[in-house]
Structure 1
Amino acid sequence: MPVLHYHDVVLHAEDVASLDEGQWLTDSIIEFHMEYLERNHQTPGNDVVTLLRPGMVQLLSHTQEDVTALKPVLPPSLSTSQAVFMPINDGVPESAYSGSHWSLLVYLHQTQKCYHYDSIRDSNLDQARLTAQRLSSLLELPRPISVIPMACPQQTNGADCGVHVIALVDYFVRKIQETSDIETLVSVDSDEIAATSMVRKRLLSVIKDESHERKFLDQS
């Protein structure tokens, strides 16, 4: 039974349980976080930021069709917003449950480049490059999008990659409203990134507040 229906996102008990310390976040939690940011006006608008959901990123990266055929099912703001945020997963469609790592890819229209933030060095760099290649074709750019690996906080266990992605999205959504300087925008100040334990607790609190099944959550 679903724990929470939040607009287009459905969370189940296993999704909420993935917020416990030491657990690997489900893609539904990352999707919920993006949906919640947009719905609560914590993003500066689609003309500035597009938060591409995990499922959409996988579709873009691994479709066997011409990627331009995906335009009707992807956000129209993809080609107009200043920044596109894409959670990257190392899973492949032909192997169910094969994904084991999340990272964040950020595309800036001003530079026509992607910036890759990976909490386990460059583990997902190949996947990020594939997504950037597909995005370049989708946007029909005159040249391929280059991917620049960027420094960011590194995880200290095998489970916090998705939490790092959420913390980085929060950080950049704030930052893009504060500065237009590209060098400042793409760099990460580790002191301003929320601790993973706090990210987990905050999301759990938000889900509890939003849930019509609060009694179930309080007992879990």
Structure 2
Amino acid sequence: MIQYEDVVLQDLDIDTLQQGCFLADKVFAFYFAYLTSTNKTDDVLLVEPTVSIWLARCDQAEASSYAESYKLSTKSLVLFVVNDRDPYCEGDDGTHWSTLVYHRSMNSFIHFDTMKGMNHSAAMKLYEAVKSYMGAGGQAAKLQASKKKKDKKKNARSVCKPSLDVPVTAVAGMPVFRESEDIQQQSNGYDCGLYVLAIAEFICHWFINEMNNIIQDDLVSAVVKEVVDHSVECQMRDKVLGIIRKVGNQKQPN
């Protein structure tokens, strides 16, 4: 057993990193917690599978409460994990993982599915459940960021002046749903979860580069070109297992 942050990995969870196995939910939770703690940015939120699946099923009041607690309306990027589990079944009956990313500056949800079309309906269900809680996106988000910068420059004399900024809500539209048509397709029926982990890792790094004004492709193009290829299937299991072992060794007493 290994504990990292609030995630407890049992041996059975770790065993799913063996070749040919579907990843356990706790492996996603561990890796998301690891990425969050090591990248140290509050502008990216990685939503683990059990929560993503619950959001697609829960009622409006519960979804609203989660959105407020985790400040979905303020995040620049939010990654959800999509699964094709029967929404009326409480068991682990799903057979495929995919990734749904909300990108605020694009005001879009982008679905990355490495088995094209298989999780479309599940992704749409999750999108419909959370889209109204994401806050201002696109041009509205840019205006909001610009306004924050202006506010920082105001001195005490200008505080009482009426604001001429366009209200953010006046230009905020509902985010749209997009399928990433060019995403690499997996070569087998069980490595889908590895692609989700690889995309999560990449968007954390991509966002840091964007904040540091490092020239790069847009998020969708970058994921397609730089992340999702068959090397994920060859390398990601060993990479995650190595991190788990490293964390486990750090927790051992001297």
Q: Please state which band the TM-score falls in when normalised by the shorter chain.
A: 0.7 to 0.9
How far has the Cα of 1:139 moved from its partner? Answer: 3.4
Change (3 A) 1:183 1:131: farther
Q: Distance in 2 between matches of 1:79 and 1:140?
A: 4
Q: Which runs of 5+ in 1 are unaligned?
A: 216-220
Q: Report the equivalent of 2:161.
A: none
Q: Report the equivalent of 1:147.
A: 177
Query: Which among 151, 156, 181 is matched to residue 187 of structure 2?
Result: 156
**Does the aligned pair in 2 maintain the 1:57–1:86 contact within 8 Å?**
yes
Single out whichever of 192-201 and 159-168 deviates more from structure 2: 192-201
Query: Which among 112, 115, 119 is matched to residue 117 of structure 1?
Result: 112
Q: Report the equivalent of 1:203.
A: 240
Aligned CA RMSD, in angstroms, stands at: 2.5
**Does the aligned pair in 2 maintain the 1:119–1:161 contact within 8 Å?**
yes
Residues paired across the two proteins, number: 208
1:85 aligns with 2:79: yes
Query: Which among 128, 131, 134 is matched to residue 136 of structure 1?
Result: 131
Deviations 1:41-86 (A, max 9, x none): x25x112x111121221221110343323345x422x211111111
Partner of 1:104: helix, strand, or coil? strand
Taking structure 2 as the reference length, what is the TM-score of the superposition?
0.73
How far has the Cα of 1:176 moved from its partner? Answer: 2.4
Q: Distance in 2 between matches of 1:131 and 1:14?
A: 28
Q: Report the equivalent of 1:218.
A: none
User: What aligned pairs does 1:2-81 form with structure 2 within 5 A after superposition?
Assistant: 3-40=1-38, 42=39, 45-47=41-43, 49-66=44-61, 67-71=63-67, 74-76=69-71, 78-81=72-75
Query: Which among 84, 88, 97 is matched to residue 94 of structure 1?
Result: 88
Whichever of the two has the greater Rg, that structure is 2
- How high is the sequence identity, in percent, across the aligned residues? 25
Letter matched to residue 206 of structure 2: K
Q: Which runs of 5+ in 2 are unaligned?
A: 137-171
Change (3 A) 1:125 1:80: same
Change (3 A) 1:19 1:177: same
Change (3 A) 1:127 1:145: farther
Q: Distance in 1 between matches of 2:236 and 2:251?
A: 20
How far has the Cα of 1:93 moved from its partner? Answer: 4.6
Q: Distance in 2 between matches of 1:9 and 1:56?
A: 14
Change (3 A) 1:65 1:114: closer
Q: Distance in 1 between matches of 2:47 and 2:32?
A: 8
Q: Report the equivalent of 1:185.
A: 219
**Does the aligned pair in 2 maintain the 1:60–1:131 contact within 8 Å?**
yes
**Does the aligned pair in 2 maintain the 1:105–1:117 contact within 8 Å?**
yes
**Does the aligned pair in 2 maintain the 1:91–1:98 contact within 8 Å?**
yes
Partner of 1:178: helix, strand, or coil? helix
How far has the Cα of 1:24 moved from its partner? Answer: 0.5
Q: Distance in 2 between matches of 1:71 and 1:189?
A: 29
Letter matched to residue 8 of structure 1: D
Taking structure 1 as the reference length, what is the TM-score of the superposition?
0.84
Partner of 1:177: helix, strand, or coil? helix
Partner of 1:97: helix, strand, or coil? coil
How far has the Cα of 1:140 moved from its partner? Answer: 6.0
Partner of 2:244: helix, strand, or coil? helix
Q: Distance in 1 between matches of 2:35 and 2:114?
A: 22
